[in-house]
C-alpha cells in the first residue's frame, strides 16, 4: 500500500463549483476520490502510447443477433486471439439483440486493435472499450 500524500491545488472558484457538482453527480465520496480517479484515467490513457504496456480491459458490444454471420464472425475472431481474450459474458437482451462483455489482457496496442476489429463489424450497435493498466500501478 502506497503512502498517502496530501497536496493543495489552487483553482478558480467557478471551476471548483463545477467540479463539486461533478463529484456529486458522479457520487464520489470525496473530492480526493474524484481527483485520484481522474488522474489515474489520464495517466492510463497516456500510457497506451507505450505499446508494450501490459493492459487489461473490457469490450462491451451490443449487436444484432440476426445480422447474417455476425455472431459467427465475432466468435471466430475471439478464437483466433485466445492469448488476448480471457473471458466472454453473453446476455440475450431481446429477440434479436445481444450484449457481450469481453475481458481482454495483453499489450495495449494489440487490445486496441482487436477491439477495433470486433466493434467495427457490421451489425454492432455499440462498442465500448474500457482499459486499465495491468502493470501493478493502477
Ligand atoms: Ni444472444
Q: Which CATH superfamily is domain 54-133 in?
A: ACT-like. Chain A, domain 2 (3.30.70.1150)
pLDDT at 49: 58
Helix H, strand E, coil C: the string for the chain is: CCCCCCCCCCCCHHHHHHHHHHHHHCCCCCHHHHHHHHHHHHHHHHHCCCCCCEEEEEEEEEEECCCCCHHHHHHHHHHCCCCCEEEEEEEEEECCEEEEEEEEEEEHHHHHHHHHHHHCCCCEEEEEEEEEECCCCC
Region 114-136 average pLDDT:
88
44-48, 61-65, 121-125, 129-133 — which is least confidently predicted? 44-48
Q: How far is the CA of 71 from the centre of ligand 1 (A)?
A: 9
Q: How far is the CA of 70 from the centre of ligand 1 (A)?
A: 11
Q: Under 8 Å CB-to-CB from 71, ≥6 apart: which residues?
A: 63, 65, 98
Q: How far is the CA of 96 from the centre of ligand 1 (A)?
A: 8
Q: What is the pLDDT of residues 25-80, one digit of tens each?
A: 999 999 999 999 998 887 777 666 566 778 899 999 999 999 999 999 999 999 99
Q: How far is the CA of 115 from the centre of ligand 1 (A)?
A: 19
Q: How far is the CA of 65 from the centre of ligand 1 (A)?
A: 6
Q: How far is the CA of 108 from the centre of ligand 1 (A)?
A: 28
Return the closest-CA partner of residue 128 out of 38, 75, 63, 58.
58
Q: How far is the CA of 67 from the centre of ligand 1 (A)?
A: 12
Q: How far is the CA of 94 from the centre of ligand 1 (A)?
A: 8
Q: What is the pLDDT of residues 76-116, one digit of tens each?
A: 999 999 999 999 999 999 999 999 999 999 998 899 899 98
Q: How far is the CA of 72 from the centre of ligand 1 (A)?
A: 12
Alpha-carbon span 107 to 28, nearest angstrom: 31
pLDDT band at 117 (very low <50, low <70, confident <90, very high): very high
Q: What is the pTM of this model?
A: 0.70
Amino acid at each position: 500500500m502506497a503512502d498517502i500524500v496530501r497536496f493543495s491545488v489552487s483553482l478558480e472558484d467557478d471551476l471548483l463549483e463545477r467540479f463539486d457538482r461533478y463529484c456529486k453527480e458522479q457520487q464520489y465520496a470525496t473530492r480526493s476520490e474524484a481527483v485520484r480517479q481522474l488522474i489515474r484515467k489520464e495517466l492510463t490513457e497516456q500510457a497506451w502510447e507505450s505499446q508494450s504496456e501490459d493492459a487489461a480491459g473490457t469490450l462491451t458490444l451490443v449487436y444484432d443477433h440476426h445480422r447474417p454471420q455476425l455472431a459467427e464472425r465475432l466468435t471466430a475472431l475471439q478464437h483466433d486471439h485466445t492469448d488476448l481474450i480471457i473471458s466472454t459474458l453473453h446476455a440475450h437482451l431481446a429477440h434479436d439483440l445481444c450484449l457481450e462483455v469481453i475481458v481482454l489482457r495483453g499489450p495495449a496496442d494489440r487490445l486496441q486493435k482487436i477491439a477495433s476489429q470486433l466493434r467495427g463489424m457490421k451489425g454492432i450497435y455499440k462498442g465500448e472499450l474500457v482499459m486499465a493498466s495491468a502493470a501493478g500501478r493502477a
